[in-house]
Amino acid sequence: MDDSESIKRLTIEWTKAQPAVARFVRSFVRNRDDAEDVLQEVALAIVDRFESYDSTRPFIAWALGVARNLVKAHFRKQLRRPVTADDETAVDRVAEAFESLQPELEDMKEALAECIQRVPAEERRMLAMQYEENLKPAAIATRINKTANHVAVMLHRLRLGLRQCVERKMNSPANLS
């Protein structure tokens, strides 16, 4: 495989794996800046080691293995003490859980995207204001000339409806195979 094909493949694989790897790192590294630093270290390590990746294995498992080692290294640096067997076991178990849940998470994201498309435009706008712009109900209320209580109730109902829609889609015969 030539270099440009390898770069394309790496880019595609990392783009798919990065959200799960980021969640994994953030599940252990609580400080946002530190988590971003560790995630950047993971990305660089993956670029450096991509030639050693065995394409017969899932990329996400390999990427989580790299992340697992760098999270452990982060703890060693932060705590200035060796990571204990218990620490390593916890990191390993969480990595395994992330790896096993990844396919289901992708299906859930697809189902959520389909469900959101069914939400009326104004309500979708409210969801975008809360989850994309990180606005509180009071700020959303000001923008759409409603009360904060009305917005909070609407968002609550929207979340419940979206949860039910996603659950129906995930439990449909097509997803149970």
146 pLDDT band, cuts 50/70/90, is very high
| One domain, residues 31 and 93 | yes
With beta carbons less than 8 A apart as the criterion, state whether 127 and 158 touch.
yes
The model's pTM? 0.50
Contacts 24+ apart (CB under 8 A), 108-116: 108/166, 108/170, 111/165, 111/166, 111/169, 111/170, 111/175, 112/162, 112/166, 114/165, 114/169, 115/161, 115/162, 115/165, 115/166, 115/169, 116/162
133 pLDDT band, cuts 50/70/90, is confident
Q: What percent of the chain has pLDDT over 70?
A: 80
How many folded domains does the chain comprise?
Answer: 2
Cα angle vertex 134, ends 101, 159, to 5°? Answer: 55
Q: What is the CATH number of the domain that holds 35?
A: 1.10.1740
**Is 107 inside a domain boundary?**
no
| One domain, residues 58 and 135 | no
With beta carbons less than 8 A apart as the criterion, state whether 25 and 43 touch.
no
| One domain, residues 61 and 133 | no
pLDDT digits (tens, 9 = 90+) for 42-72: 999 999 999 888 888 888 889 988 998 898 8
